[in-house]
Amino acid sequence: MSEFDLIDALLADEAPLPSWVSMGPGDDAAVLTLPPDSEWVLSTDTLVEGRHFLPDTPPDLLAYRALAVNLSDLAAMGATPSGFLVALVAPELDVAWCRRFSAGLRAASGSSGARLVGGNLARGPLAVTVTVTGTVPRGCALLRSGARVGDAIYVSGSIGGALAARRLLDTDAASRSGLSTLSLEGVEEGLRPYLLPAARVALGQRLRGIASACIDVSDGLLADLGHLCNRSGVAAQIWLESLPVAEVDPLEAVVAGDDYELLFTVPAGRSIDSAGSDLGLTHIGQIEPGAGVRLLAADGSEVAVARRGWSHF
Amino acid sequence: MSEFDLIDALLADEAPLPSWVSMGPGDDAAVLTLPPDSEWVLSTDTLVEGRHFLPDTPPDLLAYRALAVNLSDLAAMGATPSGFLVALVAPELDVAWCRRFSAGLRAASGSSGARLVGGNLARGPLAVTVTVTGTVPRGCALLRSGARVGDAIYVSGSIGGALAARRLLDTDAASRSGLSTLSLEGVEEGLRPYLLPAARVALGQRLRGIASACIDVSDGLLADLGHLCNRSGVAAQIWLESLPVAEVDPLEAVVAGDDYELLFTVPAGRSIDSAGSDLGLTHIGQIEPGAGVRLLAADGSEVAVARRGWSHF
């Protein structure tokens, strides 16, 4: 088995590269062409076996997740995905594994526009680092720093679904032992929020010109809102009763990570109608002066929460 | 120790970001602005402990090498470096380690223009994935595919230096046991080609408009020239007597990896004077019709070599 057989397997079912890819895989580097008057958006994220995914995760599910969590960062910037690089470290690889991995990448990219343009293979403990690239019209990137006092706070979809799915995997012996036998099509609805998270790429692009600030909920809603407030120099109040929560206790949902929804702020009086989607966008709170994030019950009293989000390290 | 302390340590001594970085570390993604009429060049490479670097390698030397081998890929494209992302996986980290790692990145970047614009920290077995980005004037990237029959083949600097350095580390107990105590300034001359390889970034840019094809010698000269010939649909002859070899047997040097020199082709009659540098550029062979790479002795007879380059996987 040569490295080139593995690369061929990774690229086997790829469609012809689009016009913006001047050079795809196979040279020292990829070469991409930008639309005029745009800026380049770049992000990277690593998934390590046993820490960010379960050891039995099949290659297509692993690849899907590795790309989706990166696309979520582009979504949070309002960027249009263009290309991505995959740096794959694995103890061993074969052609069948690579073909399934490749299928997972294609599934996660979907209609987002992101195309595999390069990467690297290395031998070592299983870990996948994806670097995504995208574009925004010049000056239109959705930053964490743009929230202002009085802005409304919204979240897309619902939170807590990934936590519910992880619990199912942890406690349901059938789900866990069945994990290694799953393929992309066979993932039951309840496991999808964790195993196959959907990056809100189209929504992010629609939020350009609407949202004053944006972040993806990967570390937990309270933690990520805290990041946004820090960068914006503001505080926030969140209304517990308003939170769109899936299947778990709302107090757990706000500190659980891995949901990959978009959390964004909108200046008072600005309509979000043109951002609307079948995801649902929920008004969950308000930006206020000061620092920090307060979670408020229906009677206006502050609710204490135990743990604030996922620590990367 | 929080993740943010570590990130602060990684960014502590960074100079203010240049004008082309609209958003550096701290948001969901980095945002870069391109010069007009340019294309974007992207590459990624992972170093895994025990496979691509010795377990005792200090953090500044590790960071230097991780960035340099990536910058070498930009050099081989003739690109001007702009930004890079670091995805660091480590079993544990502290502020002192991160500060030394950061110093290594700055040293490797040197005057290349590459700036740290983002990254990711994750817990796991030590590995560093760097993604580099750069620009080339539209249509000016140096590809592997441009070599034509009759082109002259050149290599920069000398080859075999990295192999000699690895031998010194493997056989000289003092060097090996001293590795963990080294800092950037303390690396003796003989170890530098392996521990602190110099990416030929300035040379790569000067080769735009001169070289018809280019690749960096990271897998071994014969192997990399083979890649270039494959992509160009040509063959090559290399003159053993002409090879600039440092300290090892030329037959070992041509199959040893890690030299990070540039191997490039130049159409007959085109001057390389304006690419000249104190590195030295040596005419080592000729592109010819057919496929494959032949190594020729002074009498014109073909020389057999045992092993053709580094296998990534």
Pairing of strands B80-90, B115-123: parallel
- B85 and B211 housed in the same domain: no
Which of the four pLDDT bands, split at 50, 70 and 90, describes residue A89?
very high
Q: What is the pLDDT of residue A311?
A: 67
Which of the four pLDDT bands, split at 50, 70 and 90, describes residue B132?
very high
Indicate the residue of A30, A40, A49 with minimum beta-carbon distance to B32. Answer: A40
Q: What is the ipTM of this complex?
A: 0.93
- A132 and A182 housed in the same domain: no
More confident residue, B105 or B273: B105
- A158 and A84 housed in the same domain: no
Which of the four pLDDT bands, split at 50, 70 and 90, describes residue A2?
confident
Q: What is the pLDDT of residue B310?
A: 61
Number of domains observed in the structure of chain A: 2
Boundary (domain end) residue, out of A137, A166, A182: A137
% of chain B beyond a pLDDT of 90: 78
Residues 56-75 of A with CB under 8 A from B: 73-74
In a domain, A304, yes or no: no
User: CB contact, 8 Å: A6 with chain B?
Assistant: yes
- A152 and A290 housed in the same domain: yes
CB B293 within 8 A of CB B225: yes
Q: What is the pLDDT of residue A91?
A: 96
Boundary (domain end) residue, out of B118, B137, B156: B137
Cα-based angle A33, A36, A38 (whole degrees, multiple of 5): 90
Q: What is the pLDDT of residue B308?
A: 57
CB A224 within 8 A of CB A216: yes
Indicate the residue of B48, B77, B93 with minimum beta-carbon distance to A123. Answer: B48
Q: What is the pLDDT of residue A100?
A: 95
d(CA A186, CA B195): 48
Boundary (domain end) residue, out of A114, A137, A160: A137
Provide the Cα torsion A266, A267, A270, A271; round to 10°.
20
Burial of A177 (0-12, 13-18, 19+ CB in 10 A): exposed
Name the residue with tokens 């580097």: A29
d(CA B48, CA A78): 33
Residues 91-130 of B with CB under 8 A from A: 93, 117-125, 127, 129
Phi-psi region of A217 (alpha: psi -120 to 50; beta: other; left: phi over 0): beta
Q: What is the pLDDT of residue B292?
A: 94
- A89 and A192 housed in the same domain: no
Indicate the residue of B28, B41, B85 with minimum beta-carbon distance to A215. Answer: B28
Q: What is the pLDDT of residue B278?
A: 74
In a domain, A307, yes or no: no
In a domain, B305, yes or no: no
CATH number at residue A182: 3.90.650.10
- What is the average pLDDT score of chain A? 92
Q: What is the pLDDT of residue B108?
A: 97
Residues A45, B76: C-beta atoms closer than 8 Å: no
In a domain, A125, yes or no: yes
Which of the four pLDDT bands, split at 50, 70 and 90, describes residue A118?
very high
Q: What is the pLDDT of residue A275?
A: 86
Which of the four pLDDT bands, split at 50, 70 and 90, describes residue A312?
low
Residues B313, A83: C-beta atoms closer than 8 Å: no
Query: Which residues does B121 contact at the CB level (< 8 Å), separation at least 6?
Result: A312, A313, B3, B6, B7, B88, B90, B93
- A150 and A285 housed in the same domain: yes
CATH number at residue A128: 3.30.1330.10
In a domain, B97, yes or no: yes
Predicted confidence (pLDDT) at residue A14 exceeds the cutoff of 90: no
More confident residue, A218 or A178: A218
The residue type of A165 is A
% of chain A beyond a pLDDT of 90: 78
Q: What is the pLDDT of residue B312?
A: 67
Q: What is the pLDDT of residue B169?
A: 86
- Which chain A residue has its CA at the smallest distance from B146's CA? A27
Which residue blocks in A110-156 are alpha helix, DSSP H? none
- B221 and B92 housed in the same domain: no
pTM for the whole structure: 0.94
In a domain, A301, yes or no: no
Distance from CA of B298 to the nearest CA of A (A): 32
Q: Which residues of B touch A93 (CB under 8 A)?
A: 313
In a domain, B303, yes or no: no
CA-derived radius of gyration, chain A: 20
Predicted confidence (pLDDT) at residue A244 exceeds the cutoff of 80: yes
Predicted confidence (pLDDT) at residue A41 exceeds the cutoff of 70: yes
The 10s digit of each residue's pLDDT in A145-199 is 999 999 999 999 999 999 999 998 887 766 667 888 888 998 989 999 999 999 9
- A207 and A130 housed in the same domain: no
In a domain, A302, yes or no: no
Provide the Cα torsion A129, A135, A139, A142; round to 10°.
-50
Residues A143, B23: C-beta atoms closer than 8 Å: yes
- B151 and B248 housed in the same domain: yes
The 10s digit of each residue's pLDDT in B140-192 is 999 999 999 999 999 999 999 999 999 988 877 666 678 888 889 989 899 99
Q: What is the pLDDT of residue B1?
A: 65
d(CA A66, CA A85): 11
- What is the average pLDDT score of chain B? 92
CB B68 within 8 A of CB B184: no
Residue A28 has φ and ψ, to the nearest 5°, of -65, -25
The 10s digit of each residue's pLDDT in B106-130 is 999 999 999 999 999 999 999 999 9
Residue A126 structure tokens: 């299983």
CB pairs under 8 A between A and B: 228
Q: What is the pLDDT of residue A1?
A: 65
d(CA B43, CA B68): 12
Q: What is the pLDDT of residue A310?
A: 61
d(CA A9, CA A93): 11
Residue B31 structure tokens: 């945002």
- B225 and B116 housed in the same domain: no
The 10s digit of each residue's pLDDT in A271-306 is 998 887 677 999 999 999 999 999 999 999 999 887
For CA atoms B47, B49, B53, B56, give the dihedral sign.
positive
Predicted confidence (pLDDT) at residue B96 exceeds the cutoff of 70: yes
Which residue blocks in chain A are alpha helix, DSSP H? 3-11, 59-76, 95-109, 161-171, 173-178, 192-195, 201-206, 221-232, 250-253
Q: State the residue range of the domain holding B242.
A: 144-296
Residue A33 structure tokens: 């062409």
- A67 and A164 housed in the same domain: no
Distance from CA of A171 to the nearest CA of B (A): 25
Predicted confidence (pLDDT) at residue A71 exceeds the cutoff of 60: yes
Residues B121, A313: C-beta atoms closer than 8 Å: yes
d(CA B305, CA B111): 38
Q: What is the pLDDT of residue A247?
A: 85
Q: What is the pLDDT of residue B175?
A: 65
- B148 and B288 housed in the same domain: yes
Kindly report which listed range (A13-27, A109-123, B125-139) carries the lowest average pLDDT score.
A13-27
Indicate the residue of B23, B44, B120 with minimum beta-carbon distance to A141. Answer: B23
More confident residue, A20 or A229: A229
Q: Which residues of A touch B132 (CB under 8 A)?
A: 29
